A and B are shown apart, each in its own frame.
Chain A
Amino acid sequence: DIQMTQSPSTLSTSVGDRVTITCRASQSVGSWLAWYQQKPGKAPKLLIYKASTLYSGVPSRFSGSGSGTEFTLTISSLQPDDFAIYYCQQYNTYSTFGQGTKVEIK
């Protein structure tokens, strides 16, 4: 099984801040990596797929980078609507998710 580890687990931050979340895979997943945003009581929403491709309708302040075993999700200027939990997902071999990173108000 490919294990996905996100850091940090919780990020206390403010509106306007630049936010970076890291996702590491236990073995190479190439560029087969997606990022999701989840708010309480809702299904996850796709933000980025294939490591760096922005999904349709997702604001350009979200960006993804990386390949192999290390990936990052960056929010260039955090907006009030961005406080949520973020998950990475590898889809190189079946599918596994990271444990999530909660972005909360400082």
Chain B
Amino acid sequence: QVQLQQWGAGLLKPPETLSLICAVYGGSFNGYYWSWIRQPPGKGLEWIGDINHSGSTNYNPSLKSRVTISIDTSKNHFSLNLSSVTAADTAVYYCARGPVSRITISGVAPVYFDYWGQGTLVTVSS
């Protein structure tokens, strides 16, 4: 059974860098994109970006300048860094797995999400 377990600092000050790790248990990294998604309190879901087993990344254009997603398959985990955080970045952050079903002509592999981490509340406050 696949499990995603995530952790990271829950309280940050502007303009620190948010760092989260998601460990993957019980499955292969191949054939999937590994994503980060966030949800501000009481609001909807926003895709942040993703990475595959070889390190190919895609980012939400609205966050691209501040986001870095990396992967370490030897340690079975992938990571999110979001720089220069503000109060607007306060949210529950989720990691998730996305099965690759196709690759577009631009080389992107958009995915749905079948397994999710438990979520980490990150609060940004001065």
Binding site for B on A (CB under 8 A): 1, 32, 34, 36, 42-46, 49-50, 55, 87, 89, 91-100
Contacts and interface: CB of A to CB of B under 8 A. Distances in A.
Given A43-B118, A43-B119, A91 B61 contact: no
Interface stretch (B10-18, B68-76, B79-87, B104-112): B104-112
11 contacts: A34-B112, A43-B119, A44-B94, A49-B112, A87-B45, A93-B108, A93-B110, A94-B47, A94-B110, A99-B44, A100-B44
A65 to B, nearest CB: 16
Nearest to A6: B44
B96 to A, nearest CB: 8
B117 A44 contact: no
Given A93-B110, A94-B60, A44 B116 contact: yes
B123 to A, nearest CB: 16
Nearest to A91: B110
Contacts, number: 55
B101 to A, nearest CB: 8
B58 interface: yes
Contacts of B46: 97
Q: Which of B44, B46, B47, B94 has the most CB of A within 10 A?
A: B44
Interface size class of B (residues with CB under 8 A): 20 to 34
Contacts of A50: 101, 112
Given A1-B61, A94-B108, A44 B113 contact: yes
Nearest to B111: A91
B7 to A, nearest CB: 15
Given A43-B94, A94-B58, A94-B60, A55 B47 contact: no
A34 B45 CA distance: 13
Given A97-B44, A97-B47, A46 B110 contact: no
Given A1-B61, A94-B58, A94-B60, A44 B45 contact: yes
B111 A43 contact: no
Given A97-B45, A97-B46, A99-B44, A43 B116 contact: yes
A98 B44 CA distance: 7
